[in-house]
């Protein structure tokens, strides 16, 4: 049985595929595990998970909680302003990702963008996009001391004048 791709990596892969579909003529890939050597004549776009920011807990009895996922899109270009340069690449990347929904996540939003300078004949620019998700823990032990999920009904909501269970129209 093939291994399942970790969900964080599947979002990263979806971002790479989206950029490949929208931007042509440049190398686009997930940040490699080994140091990257840009050999493309125009430049490259590299994508990687930049962070997970846990949010508030949504449930009292488990660890279900909101989280913001951030992905860095690093642009490298051998020129700055011409039609294949860094400026057009920044615009194309924002156009491709802003508001797009990777793998059923919420739409991406641009969190920050800044130049990383000029080094070894390449201009660099970093864009950080984020999306929200909900973290749900795996329940590996079904006999664990976790309260069961049940349906809850209310006799009287107090808003519509109902007096018996099932009479509420709110």
In-domain check, residue 164: no
State residue 41's pLDDT score.
67
Q: Structural domain of residue 72, as residue ranges?
A: 7-135
- For residue 30 the two structure tokens come to 């997930």
State residue 32's pLDDT score.
84
Residue 30, pLDDT > 50, answer: yes
Exposed / middle / buried, residue 132 (Cβ in 10 Å: 0-12, 13-18, 19+): middle
Say if residues 43 and 32 touch (Cβ distance below 8 Å). Answer: no
In-domain check, residue 166: no
Count structural domains, the chain.
1
As a whole-number percent, the residues of the chain with pLDDT over 90 amount to 45
The bridge status of strand 27-30 relative to strand 43-57 is parallel
Average pLDDT, the chain: 82
The CATH number of whichever domain residue 45 belongs to comes to 3.30.2000.10
Which tops the pLDDT comparison, 62 or 123?
A: 123
Q: What is the pLDDT of residues 126-155, one digit of tens each?
A: 999 999 988 877 766 655 665 555 544 445
In-domain check, residue 50: yes
In-domain check, residue 43: yes
In-domain check, residue 141: no
Q: What is the pLDDT of residues 92-121, one digit of tens each?
A: 999 999 999 998 789 999 999 999 999 888
In-domain check, residue 128: yes
């Amino acid at each position: 049985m093939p291994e399942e791709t970790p969900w964080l990596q599947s979002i990263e892969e979806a971002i790479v595929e989206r950029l490949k579909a929208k931007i042509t003529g440049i190398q686009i890939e997930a940040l490699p595990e080994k140091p990257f050597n840009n050999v493309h004549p125009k430049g490259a776009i590299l994508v990687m998970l930049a962070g997970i920011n846990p949010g508030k807990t949504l449930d009292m009895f488990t660890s279900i909680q909101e989280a913001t996922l951030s992905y860095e899109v690093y642009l490298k270009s051998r020129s700055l302003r011409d039609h294949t340069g860094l400026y057009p690449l920044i615009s194309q990347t924002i156009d491709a990702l802003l508001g797009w929904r990777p793998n059923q996540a919420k739409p991406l939003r641009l969190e920050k963008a800044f130049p990383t300078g000029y080094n070894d004949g390449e201009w660099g620019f970093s864009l950080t996009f984020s999306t929200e998700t909900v973290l749900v823990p795996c329940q590996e032990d079904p006999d664990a001391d976790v309260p069961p999920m049940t349906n809850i009904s209310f006799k009287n909501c107090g808003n519509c004048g109902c007096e018996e269970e099932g009479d509420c129209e709110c």
